[in-house]
Amino acid sequence: LKTPKAVIVIFGATGDLANRKLYPSLYRLYRNGKLSDNFAVIGVARRPLTNEQLRDNIKKSIADFNDTHIDADEFASHFHYNPFDVQDLTHYQKLDKFIDELDAKHQAGGNRLFYLAMDPNFFGLIAENLKSEGLTEPTGWTKLIIEKPFGHNYETAQKLNNDIRKAFTEDQIYRIDHYLGKQMIQNIEIVRFANSLFEPLWNNQYIANIQVTSSEILGVEERGRYYDGSGALRDMVQNHMLQMVSLLAMEPPAKLTPDDIRYEKVKVLRSLKPISEDIVDEHFVRGQYDRGEINQEEQDGYRESNGVDENSNTETFVAGKFMINNFRWAGVPFYIRTGKRMAKKATEIVVQFKDLPINLYAGKGNTIDPNLLVIRVQPDGGITLHLNAKQEDYETTSKPITMQYDMDGKAINRPEAYEVLLNDCLHGDSTNFVHWDEVALSWQYIDVISEAWSKKSSDEFPNYASGTNGPKAADELLENDGFHWWSVK
Ligand code: BG6
C-alpha cells in the first residue's frame, strides 16, 4: 500500500481525545512508515495557542515512546495551530487557503481529512459551513471522521445525520467506534471465517449462549457532566456492545468488502427480537455504583462525582440479553454486561457450547465443564479454548483443561485502535467504521430501554458497590435461564 497523502484538520485539537489518542496514533503511523512526509495536520480549536505551544503538547503526548531514532521535532513540525470560531464563516475561508498552502508545501495530493473530535452539538454546523465555504471540494478526496456520541437517541441521531449528509456523502463519512479498531475484535471475523473448526458449530444447535463483558475499574472521573446525561446504555451498549454482538452473530459475508460485511452486520441488527417497554425488566438490568474499595483504596460513589446530580437516575452499569430471531440463532441468548467501577478492567467474549447429550465420565473424580471459546479482547489479547481431557496416568478421568493463544508482543508494540482506524480511513477502507444503517437500528432498539428506564425511580440507586461485578439482578438474569457468567482469566 502506498503511504497516504493528506492535510488532516482536527477540530478539538486541544481536547483530551486529541492529546491522549490522536497525536500518539499519528505518531505511531509516522514512526512505522505508514505516513509519508506528504502530510500536514492543522489543529483547530477555540483558544489562542501558538504553533509552538501545540507542538509542545504533541511532544508531551508522545514522550512515553522514548524513541531515539525518530526526531520528535521533525514530526511535530508537520503540525500547525489555527485558532477558530466555528460560527465565523471568514475563519473557514482562511482555513481553506491555509490547507491549500500546506498542501502545496507537503505535496499532499489535494486530499483533505476533517476530524471532528469535539462537542457533537457543533458537528452539523461545521459540516454545513465546510461545504458552503467550499472546503469540501478539493482536487483530491475529502473525508470526514466523527466521534461519538452520534446522537442521544434515534431522533437526534437522524437529525445529526441529515445535517452532515447535506455536506458529505455516506461514503465520505467515517463514524468511529474505537472497539472496531481493537486487534482482537477484528479477530472475531478471522477466528470464525478462517477456521473450519468453529463455523459448523456456530449456531443454535451447538451454542448454549454467548457472553460479552466489558468492565472498567475507572469511574466517570472528569466526564461527569457528559456522562450523567448519557449513561452506560448510550455510552457503551448502543455502540461497542452491539457492534461486538453483530460481529459474533453475522453470517459469513460474500466477500471481505466493506459493503458485504456491513450488509451482514445490518441483518443481525434487523433480526434482533424487538423489545417492548413492558418486558424491558426481563431482559435488561441497570446499576449505579456506590462507594466501595478497589485495590485497597476507598472509592467515592457515582453521585459524589463532579458534574453528577446528587440524585442522579443515570446508570453506570448495564447487563442485558439480546435474542436474535433468525434461523441460526433463535433461542440462543447473547448476554452483555458493561459497567464502571467494577472489579477489573477487561473485555472478554465467552462462547459457551451446549452440553453433550450424556456424560460418560460422570462420577467420582470427574468434572466436565462446558466447552468454552474465550476471546480475550483486553487487557491481554488472546484466545482460550476450554476442553476436558485426561490428566492422571492410571485412571480414565476427565478434567477441564485450557488451550491458550496469546497475541505476540507487549501491548505497547501492538497498534492502538485509533492508529489502525486512522490508517484505514486514510486508505479509504470503511470496513471498521459504522454505517448510518447500523446507528439507526441500534438506536431504535436502545431507545425502548432508555424510555422504560427514564420512568423508573432513582431511589433504586446506588445498587452496587465499587469493586464488584454489578447488582445481584445481573446474575439472576442468567440464573433464570439456567446459566451463569463465566468469569475467566
Ligand atoms: C468509550 C466510553 O467509548 O469507551 C468510555 O465513552 C469508556 O466511557 C471507553 O470508558 C472504554 O473504552 P476502552 O477502550 O478503555 O475499553
Take atom 4 of ligand 1 and give the residue whose Cα is closest.
Answer: 236
Sign of the alpha-carbon torsion through 165, 170, 173, 177: positive
Residue 85 is labelled as binding a ligand: yes
Q: Are 290 and 468 in contact (CB under 8 A)?
A: no
Tell whether 46 is in a known binding site: yes
366 C-alpha to ligand 1 centroid (Å): 41
Q: How far apart are CA 411 and CA 379, in angstroms?
A: 8
- Residue 36: per-residue pLDDT: 84
Residue 489 has pLDDT above 60, yes or no: no
Tell me which of 235, 237, 434 to substitute to probe ligand 1's pocket, judged by most ligand atoms within 8 Å of the beta carbon.
Answer: 235
**Residue 338 dihedral angles phi and psi, to the nearest 5°:** -150, 145
Question: What mean pLDDT do residues 155-167 have?
Answer: 97
Range with the poorest average pLDDT among 9-13, 36-40, 280-284: 36-40
342 CA → ligand 1 middle, Å: 14
What does the pLDDT look like over 237-269, one tens digit per residue?
999 999 999 999 999 999 999 999 999 999 999
Atom 6, ligand 1: residue with shortest CA distance: 235
Whether the pLDDT of residue 119 is over 80: the answer is: yes
- Give the list of residues 6+ apart from residue 408 with CB closer than 8 angstroms, or none: none
Does the annotation list 300 as a binding residue?
no
Residue 223, Cβ density class (10 Å: 0-12 exposed, 13-18 middle, ≥19 buried): middle
pLDDT confidence band for 480 (50 / 70 / 90): very high
Question: Which amino acid is it at 424?
Answer: D
| Percentage of the chain modeled with pLDDT above 90 | 88
Residue 240 a catalytic site member: yes
Q: Which has the closest alpha carbon to 189: 349, 370, 347, 380?
A: 349
Whether 409 has a pLDDT exceeding 70, the answer reads no
Alpha-carbon distance values, 233 to 106, 313, 489 (Å): 44, 13, 25
Q: What separation in Å is there between the alpha carbon of 1 and the centre of ligand 1?
A: 31
Run of H or E residues at 160: helix 154-165
Structure-block grid coordinates of residue 334: 447473547
**30, 426 Cβ separation under 8 angstroms:** no
Residue-level length of the chain: 489
pLDDT by residue (tens digit) across 32-75?
999 988 999 999 999 999 999 999 999 999 998 888 888 999 99
What's residue 66's pLDDT?
80
**The one catalytic residue among 78, 80, 240, 435:** 240
Q: How many A from CA of 235 to the centre of ligand 1?
A: 8
How many CB atoms sit inside 10 A of residue 343's CB?
A: 17
User: What pLDDT was estimated at residue 410?
Assistant: 56
Nearest to 284 by CA among 301, 296, 272: 272
DSSP string, 365-409: T---PPPEEEEEEESS-EEEEEEEE--SSSS---EEEEEEEE-SS
The mean per-residue pLDDT over the stretch 431-446 comes to 98
| Averaged pLDDT score across all residues of the chain | 95
* 86 labeled binding residue: yes
Question: Does the pLDDT value for residue 396 go beyond 80?
Answer: no
Ligand 1 within 6 A of CB of 216: yes
Give pTM, 2 decimals: 0.96
For the chain, the 3-state helix, strand and coil shares in percent, each to the nearest 5, are 40, 20, 40
What nine digits make up the cell of 115? 476530524
User: 281 with 247: CB under 8 angstroms?
Assistant: no
* Cβ contact 7:112 at 8 Å: yes
Atom of ligand 1 nearest to the CA of 149: 6
Written as nine digits, the cell of 52 is 509552538
Round to whole Å and give the CA distance between 107 and 110: 8
386's CB contacts (< 8 A; 6+ apart) are: 369, 370, 371, 372, 373, 374, 400, 401, 402, 488
Model pLDDT, residue 301: 97
| 235 Cβ closer than 6 Å to some ligand 1 atom | yes
Copy the grid coordinates of residue 361: 465420565
State the pLDDT at residue 413.
64
Beta-bridge mates of residue 299: 292
Contacts of 51 (CB under 8 A, 6+ apart): 79, 80, 81
Percent of the chain with pLDDT over 70: 98
